[in-house]
Amino acid sequence: MFTKVLIADDIDFNDLGASQILNELDVLEIQYAKYCDEALLKYLTIIF
C-alpha cells in the first residue's frame, strides 16, 4: 500500500497511535514533523 508516510502533528499522543497503525500496515518509512513548516521542508526535499 504505502511505503513512505509523513506525520505532521504537534501532539505526541496522536503520533504514537498513528505510528502503531502504520507499523501494523508494514509501512517502510515513517517520518515525523511537529510543525507545518518543518513538514513542508521534508516534503519538498523528498519530492525534489
Render pLDDT for 4-43 as a digit per residue (tens, 0 to 9).
Answer: 999 998 877 777 888 899 999 999 999 999 999 999 999 9
pLDDT of residue 39: 94
Residue 2, pLDDT above cutoff 80? yes
pLDDT of residue 1: 79
Residue 7: phi and psi, rounded to 5, are: -100, 120
pLDDT of residue 17: 86
Sign of the Cα pseudo-torsion (17, 31, 8, 1, in order): negative
pLDDT of residue 22: 93
Cell of 30: 515513517
Q: Residue 23: name the closest of 46, 1, 47 by CA.
A: 1
Residue ranges covered by each domain of the chain: 4-47
The rounded distance, in Å, linking the Cα atoms of 47 and 5 is 13
